Structure formats: structure tokens, C-alpha cells
């Protein structure tokens, strides 16, 4: 199963357009998770107390960990997240807070090193930016570090189109060039 984490909210999202192009190259069944439709719990004292108790009891079948179990079970993951205000949308950070679960998506070795428990072998991060200023550590770098260092997903790939809001930019051509690159890089799989 391919898990598509959709952090796009605009009807005519350029990021979603590129993600859709990527998804057409995949043959696995796709489960889409639209982050705008989720209502994340507040990370307050009561929430943390309940979560800590469930973790202590290893009650990983609790609904609180549904998103983490879904993420850990995916064979491949695609994240579509536009580059907003020097990062990705806040809903994606809230999502990571929900799936970063000790005992479900990662564990610690006796030496205290995180070890991934996720099935996915690849995570593709799709994004677009209005300008050309795109420091990867502000968005993609964070996701890549989590995927590789905590979740055990070693193949993490960036798909991006930038400079889309620069006056006079050939927006449609930039998007088509990125789509062509997607088709070239991600041939249909079994």
C-alpha cells in the first residue's frame, strides 16, 4: 500500500499537481490522507499523560496510534507539502507528532540509537515554492532526517519546482518540466 500524505489545501495546488503526476507512475493501491480533514488533538498535559500511559503499557492498538500504525505499515510514502513561510504547512508537523511513536514507528537500541520500524523502503517528498530561496533544511531536510534516522526509510527523494511566483516566470513550463522529470525518474513499478 502506498500512503499519500496530502498537506495541500488549495483547489489548484501546484504541489498536488506534481504529486498526482508521481502517483500515476505507481501501481500499488493508494491510501490518501488529507491532513486538512484531520483534527489533531491538542498536545496538552492530559494528552501527554494519556499517551505516556499507553506507551508504558505498550497499548499500541489504541486509536491514538492509528496514524502511526498506518504509516509504519505503508510500503511506500508520498508526502505533498507546499513550501509556506520557510517550511511546510503546520498540519504536517502535527501529523509527525502523532506518528512519532516509540514502539510503532521506531525503537531505541540498547545504545540509545533510534532504529526504524517502518516497512517503507522509499519516501518521496513533493513540494513547490514561489521563490528560488529554498533551503532544504527548512522542510525537506527535517522530513529526510526523521525518515532515515527514526523510521528506517533510507531512500528519501525530493521532487520540487521553485521560482513559480517570480514575476515573468514561465510557470506552466516549470511545472511541465518537473512532471517530465517525474515520469523519467519514477517509471511504473510492479
Q: What is the pLDDT of residues 169-180, one digit of tens each?
A: 999 999 999 999
Length of the chain: 190
Q: What is the dihedral of CA 106, 16, 26, 69, to 10 degrees?
A: 20
Contacts of 173 (CB under 8 A, 6+ apart): none
Sign of the torsion angle spanned by Cα atoms 182, 183, 186, 190: positive
Q: Could you give the domains of the chain?
A: 2-185 (3.40.50.360)
Closest to 81 (Cα-Cα) out of 171, 160, 187: 160
pLDDT tens per residue, range 118-165: 999 999 999 999 998 777 777 899 999 999 999 999 999 999 999 999
The predicted structure's pLDDT at residue 144 = 97
| In the predicted structure, residue 42 carries a pLDDT above the cut 70 | yes
- Specify the DSSP element, H or E, that contains 98: helix 90-99
Q: Report the C-alpha gap between 94 and 109 in whole angstroms.
A: 26
pLDDT surpassing 70 at residue 189? no
Q: Which residues contact 182 (CB under 8 A, 6 or more apart)?
A: 18, 21, 22, 25, 159
At 185, the pLDDT band (50, 70, 90 cuts) reads: very high
Do residues 74 and 30 touch, judged by C-beta distance below 8 A?
no
pLDDT at 13: 97
Is the pLDDT reported for residue 35 higher than 60?
Answer: yes
Kindly give, in sequence order, each residue whose CB lies less than 8 Å from that of residue 73, ignoring residues fewer than 6 positions away. 1, 119
Any residues with CB less than 8 A from the CB of 177 and at least 6 apart, and which? Answer: 161
Q: Each residue of 71-120: pLDDT tens digit?
A: 999 999 999 999 988 889 999 999 999 999 999 999 999 999 999 999 99
The confidence score (pLDDT) of residue 86 equals 80
Please measure the distance between the N-terminal and C-terminal CA atoms of the chain and give it in whole angstroms.
Answer: 12
Full-model pTM: 0.94
What are the Cα distances from residue 112, in Å, to 33, 108, 142, 148? 32, 5, 20, 16
pLDDT at 135: 73
pLDDT recorded at residue 179? 98
Amino acid at each position: 500500500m502506498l500512503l499519500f500524505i496530502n498537506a495541500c489545501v488549495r483547489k489548484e495546488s501546484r504541489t498536488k499537481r506534481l504529486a498526482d503526476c508521481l502517483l500515476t507512475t505507481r501501481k500499488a493501491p493508494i491510501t490518501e490522507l488529507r491532513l486538512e480533514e484531520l483534527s489533531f488533538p491538542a498536545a496538552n498535559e492530559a494528552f501527554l499523560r494519556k499517551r505516556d500511559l499507553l506507551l508504558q503499557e505498550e497499548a499500541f492498538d489504541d486509536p491514538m496510534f492509528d496514524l502511526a500504525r498506518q504509516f509504519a505499515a505503508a510500503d511506500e510514502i508520498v508526502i505533498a507539502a507546499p513550501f509556506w513561510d520557510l517550511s511546510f504547512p503546520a498540519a504536517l508537523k502535527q501529523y509527525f507528532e502523532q506518528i512519532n511513536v516509540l514502539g510503532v514507528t521506531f525503537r531505541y537500541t540498547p545504545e540509545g540509537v533510534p532504529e526504524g520500524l517502518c516497512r517503507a523502503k522509499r519516501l518521496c517528498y513533493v513540494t513547490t515554492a514561489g521563490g528560488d530561496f529554498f533551503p532544504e533544511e527548512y522542510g525537506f531536510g527535517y522530513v529526510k532526517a526523521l525518515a532515515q534516522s527514526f523510521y528506517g526509510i533510507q531512500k528519501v527523494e525530493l521532487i520540487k519546482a521553485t521560482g513559480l511566483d517570480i514575476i515573468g516566470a514561465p510557470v506552466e513550463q516549470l511545472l511541465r518540466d518537473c512532471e517530465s522529470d517525474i515520469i523519467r525518474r519514477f517509471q511504473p513499478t510492479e
